[in-house]
Amino acid sequence: MDMVNNPAHYNKGADAETLFVRSALLDDVDSLKLECIEAMTSCLSITELRGYFRGNSFKYRWRYTEKAGIQDLEKAAWYEKKLLTLEKAVETFNNNNNKR
């Protein structure tokens, strides 16, 4: 093993559940034109993603009457849809694992 150029601790992999959830959230990702949300989804844990999606939804709903109105409500709904996709993927993963 090359401890300078490729030490084992540099290659941490995500657990199977996290990989499954990420694949549900990341559809048609172009690695040459990666958006910030896609990079975050690739790096954050499921718990961190939950907090991110919930927090952004809350932020947009909190300010919608004072700032961008309907656009803020649409942004909140976008984050809630991502959260719903995440939770459905977690549920599917857990149901599939419990059957095995």
The DSSP annotation for 59-91 comes to: HHHHHTTTTTTHHHHHHHHHHHHHHHHHHHHHH
Residue 61 lies in a domain: yes
pLDDT for residue 11: 67
Domain-embedded: residue 37: no
Three-state SS for 1? Answer: coil
Q: Is residue 32 part of a domain?
A: no
Q: Which domain holds residue 71?
A: 46-100
Is residue 68 in a domain? yes
pLDDT single digits (tens) 18-55: 999 999 999 877 777 889 999 999 999 999 999 999 99
pLDDT-based confidence at residue 13 (cuts at 50, 70, 90)? confident
Residue 22 lies in a domain: no
Whether 95 maps to a domain, the answer reads yes
pLDDT at residue 33, as a whole number: 85
Number of domains in the chain: 1
The answer to whether residue 29 sits within a structural domain is no
In a domain, 18, yes or no: no
- 4 pLDDT band, cuts 50/70/90, is confident
pTM of the model: 0.82
